[in-house]
Amino acid sequence: MTTHTIFIDGAAGTTGLRIEERLGAADDITLLRLPEARRKDPAARAEMMAQADLTFLCLPDAAAREAVSLAPASARICDTSTAHRTAPDWVYGFPELHGRREKIRSAKRLAVPGCHASGIIALLKPLRECGLLPDTAQPVCHSLTGYSGGGKTMIADYAAPDRPEALSAPRIYGLSLQHKHLPEIQAQCGLSAPPVFTPVVADYYCGMLVSIPFAVKDLNGANGEAAAKLFADYYAGEAMVRVHPFNTAQADGMLAANARAGEDGMEIFVSGNDEQVLLCARFDNLGKGASGAAVQCMNLMLGREETAELVVQAA
Ligand SMILES: NC(=O)C1=CN([C@@H]2O[C@H](COP(=O)(O)OP(=O)(O)OC[C@H]3O[C@@H](n4cnc5c(N)ncnc54)[C@H](OP(=O)(O)O)[C@@H]3O)[C@@H](O)[C@H]2O)C=CC1
Ligand SMILES: CC(=O)N[C@@H](CCC(=O)OP(=O)(O)O)C(=O)O
């Protein structure tokens, strides 16, 4: 059996802990750990990265950049932060995008997609590749997220017994329309301008629902049925992405953003009428939106079975 030595820089954080949970039981993986007192010590982290077959960075952007500067050139790195997602020489880790798997397998430096970006790209990229959406399009995208998306700080804010009343209501953020995921979305989808994007954080732990409405006339005349078939064809055979048939009835006519919490797969829904189409992607911001996606990429990079150590796949 081939064994792999893995270091998680930022193992005490939300994303790092979830990766550790997934890998802890794998008998072909040895996790390198730093004692609490040394987990932010640059020399100790550099030493771990030099020893590991692969290092996950589960750090704020600045610390992720610092980690890369500390790592030997030979180190294989899987970065969950925003720091390197549009950097040249880094592979963007979305295996389901056509032609991407081979690049991930041989990647030395891999950037794991942002959570909101994962849903938006999953919906826009097939439309762009199939010619239904011109590069000049500027779709309006919405995304609902649980508060774990904000890491330890936001989780503590929501858990505080004396928290402000405002946290009990959904809150729109990114009001300047310059969310940090827009550059990677624009780059991956080959758009000449970033989409218009409004994220909303609400009072539940995890789960993400991205929605993008279109007029049929803006999709080169493709109606919902045609769009649903396009997504089904694009993601055919993918274990982690399930495309529901057009207008699949939800029992109560609603989509709840937390339905895939704790899972690693993504669901795609296409609904609407003769004139308008609504595209939705539902997944866990900590699963396909972070730790699950990171482990999926690691498996490809190490030549392991792609879906090993992932929790329940696409429903
Ligand atoms: N939460 C999510 O849904 C997603 C998060 N991400 C990204 O993943 C990365 C990690 O996020 P998340 O897990 O949510 O964040 P957390 O705040 O939960 O965890 C970050 C961890 O990094 C540690 N850390 C900070 N600075 C250093 C340093 N210089 N050296 C070593 N460790 C350090 C922190 O230490 P301490 O415990 O002392 O604070 C903490 O444990 C971020 O870039 C984030 O944007 C990506 C996709 C989704
Ligand atoms: C609720 C909340 O604040 N969410 C974060 C998303 C966290 C994340 O996934 O960002 P990166 O992957 O780019 O690090 C945000 O929108 O900035």
CA 14 to ligand 1 center in whole angstroms? 7
Mutation test of ligand 1: which of 9, 14, 180 has the most ligand atoms closer than 8 Å to its C-beta?
14
Backbone phi, psi, residue 69, to 5°: -70, -20
In the chain, ranges of CATH 3.30.360.10 domains: 115-285
Residue nearest to atom 6 of ligand 2 (CA): 149
Q: What is the ipTM of this complex?
A: 0.94
Residues within 6 Å of ligand 1 by CB: 9-10, 12-16, 39-40, 58-61, 63, 80-82, 114-115, 148-149, 151-153, 285-286, 289-290
Stretch (H or E) spanning 9: strand 4-9
Q: Would you state the pLDDT for residue 250?
A: 75
With beta carbons less than 8 A apart as the criterion, state whether 111 and 93 touch: yes
Q: Is 141 a catalytic residue?
A: no
In the chain, ranges of CATH 3.40.50.720 domains: 4-113+289-302
DSSP per-residue string spanning 41-86: -HHHHHHHHHH-SEEEE-S-HHHHHHHHHHS-TT--EEE-SSTTTT
Residues within 6 Å of ligand 2 by CB: 81-82, 114-115, 145, 149-150, 154, 180-181, 199, 201
For residue range 48-99, list pLDDT tens digits in order: 999 999 999 999 999 999 999 999 999 999 999 999 999 999 999 999 999 9
Q: Which ligand is nearest to the CA of 152?
A: 1
Which atom, in ligand 2's list, is nearest to the CA of 147?
1
Residue nearest to atom 1 of ligand 1 (CA): 149
For residue range 126-166, list pLDDT tens digits in order: 999 999 999 999 999 999 999 999 999 999 999 999 999 99
Q: What angle do CA 295, 180, 199 make, to 5 degrees?
A: 90
Q: Would you state the pLDDT for residue 63?
A: 98
For residue range 184-194, list pLDDT tens digits in order: 999 999 999 99
| Neighbouring C-beta atoms of residue 20, cutoff 10 Å | 18
With beta carbons less than 8 A apart as the criterion, state whether 263 and 313 touch: yes
Can you read off the two tokens belonging to residue 280? 């939705």
Helices (H), the chain: 14-23, 42-51, 61-70, 100-105, 115-129, 151-159, 182-189, 224-234, 292-302
CA 207 to ligand 2 center in whole angstroms? 13
Domain 4-113+289-302, second-level architecture: 3-Layer(aba) Sandwich (3.40)
Domain 115-285, second-level architecture: 2-Layer Sandwich (3.30)
With beta carbons less than 8 A apart as the criterion, state whether 290 and 56 touch: no
Q: Would you state the pLDDT for residue 259?
A: 96
Q: Would you state the pLDDT for residue 315?
A: 63
> pLDDT class for 207, splitting at 50, 70, 90?
very high
